[in-house]
Amino acid sequence: MASYHFLLFALVGAIALSEADAEKKLSPDFYSSSCPKLLPVVKQGVIKGIKDETRIGASLLRLHFHDCFVNGCDASILLDDTSNFIGEKTAAPNNNSATGFNVIDDIKAEVEKACPGVVSCADILALAARDSVVYLGGPSWKVDLGRRDSITASRADANNSIPAPFLNLTALKTNFANQGLSVKDLVVLSGGHTIGLARCLTFRAHIYNDSDIDASFSKSLHSKCPISGNDDSLAPLDLQSPTHFDNLYFKNLLAKKGLLHSDQELVNGGSTNKLVKKYATNTAAFFKAFAKGMVKLSNIKPLTGNEGQIRINCRKVN
């Protein structure tokens, strides 16, 4: 009994310590003296990017997600392929799909002017995701800062770690659990699909083969996305308002109008139904949980201290 208690103490102590450690490493005011203009510079760059092309807000949010799910939020997704380096941009989930890299380049150039060599690309991506959501009408959250940039990338890990749209609910839960994210995080962060577009290739099987889809909704997509061809033609993930961050995504799911198979899986009768209903009827609850989920997503396995580097050009290792 005594040794059992000792073990419990040791365990609780170790957990408390490692949590304190993680908090010490990243903090919202990491750059407050080294780069006081960082937040307004990133925000202005995001707003300019979205004004030039409305979709960019969605693209930046997705870039951050695809960065964090592949060995942590370390800007690995931003590294270009070269003749002797294979990065993540051509991995299956990103090739012909991930965009927004030029906007990150523009923002990084402005940040370098204000404070050369100080701010990581990984932190810029985390801030740009938040600023995009806010500008499109969604919730805000404090972004912890102090991440450093990787000197490597992994196309294989990008293929394997980023969830595919044909996954079922069980596989989606496992995929998020592998990143330390809960079932609630899975449901609420899927709400990121309240903005942005998807290619025919990613929803074809859902509109032709699945039964959990509204018949008139699937039919309305047939001309845009025929049984073969037009792989790259785009449809909104939230059919009513793909440029506005709201809770219509969840309302669509209840009406069997989710665009991706993986979206509609969230209401297949399991425990996630309740959460979808809650977010469909309560925008405040969705926004609060989304902000909380984003902080968890943004804090996946950062490089800190002397790990990695501060890239000067986000596309290549210094």
Ligand X SMILES: *[C@@H]1O[C@H](CO)[C@@H](O)[C@H](O)[C@H]1NC(C)=O
Enumerate the active-site residues.
66
Rounded (5°) CA angle 25-303-152: 175
At closest approach, how far in Å is the CB of 113 from ligand HEM? 27
* Chain centroid offset of residue 77 CA: 12
Q: Is 260 in the site for ligand HEM (CB under 6 A)?
A: yes
The set of residues, in sequence order, having a beta carbon less than 8 Å from that of 30 and lying 6+ positions away, is 123, 144, 145, 146
3-state helix, strand, coil in the chain (%, to 5): 55, 5, 45
Q: Is 236 in the site for ligand HEM (CB under 6 A)?
A: no
The set of residues, in sequence order, having a beta carbon less than 8 Å from that of 72 and lying 6+ positions away, is 300, 301, 302, 303
At closest approach, how far in Å is the CB of 30 from ligand HEM? 23
**Cα(315)–Cα(147) distance, rounded to whole angstroms?**
17
* Interaction residues for ligand HEM, span 86-115 (CB under 6 A): 97, 99
Q: Is 199 in the site for ligand HEM (CB under 6 A)?
A: yes
State which H helix or E strand residue 76 sits in. none
Interface segment toward ligand X; rule CB under 6 A; list 111-119, 120-128, 141-149, 202-210: 202-210
Residue of 65, 141, 279, 287 interacting with ligand HEM (CB under 6 A): 65
At closest approach, how far in Å is the CB of 35 from ligand HEM? 26
Q: Which residue ranges are tagged as binding site for Ca(2+)? A: 67, 70, 72, 74, 76, 88, 194, 238, 246
* Interaction residues for ligand HEM, span 160-179 (CB under 6 A): 163-165, 167, 172
Q: Is 159 in the site for ligand X (CB under 6 A)?
A: yes
Q: Contact 308/79 with Cβ under 8 angstroms?
A: no
Q: Which parts of 107-178 are beta strand (E)?
A: none
Q: Contact 111/187 with Cβ under 8 angstroms?
A: no
**Cα(214)–Cα(157) distance, rounded to whole angstroms?**
35
Residue of 27, 82, 95, 318 interacting with ligand X (CB under 6 A): 95
Q: Contact 161/205 with Cβ under 8 angstroms?
A: no
At closest approach, how far in Å is the CB of 97 from ligand X? 9
Residues touching ligand HEM: how many (CB under 6 A)?
A: 27
Residue of 43, 62, 148, 155 interacting with ligand X (CB under 6 A): 155
Q: Is 268 in the site for ligand X (CB under 6 A)?
A: no
Q: Which is nearer to ligand X, 79 or 91 (CB)?
A: 91
Q: Which is nearer to ligand HEM, 59 or 76 (CB)?
A: 59
| Helices (H) then strands (E): counts for the chain | 14, 2
DSSP-H helix ranges across the chain: 2-25, 38-52, 56-68, 101-114, 121-135, 155-161, 169-177, 183-190, 200-209, 215-220, 248-254, 261-264, 272-281, 283-298
Q: Is 109 in the site for ligand X (CB under 6 A)?
A: no
Residue type, 197: L
Instruction: Please give the residue ranges that form the binding site for ligand HEM (CB under 6 A).
Output: 55, 58-59, 61-62, 65, 97, 99, 163-165, 167, 172, 186, 189-190, 192-193, 195-199, 202, 237, 260, 262
Instruction: Please give the residue ranges that form the binding site for ligand X (CB under 6 A).
Output: 90-92, 95-96, 155-156, 159, 168, 170-171, 204-205, 208-209, 227
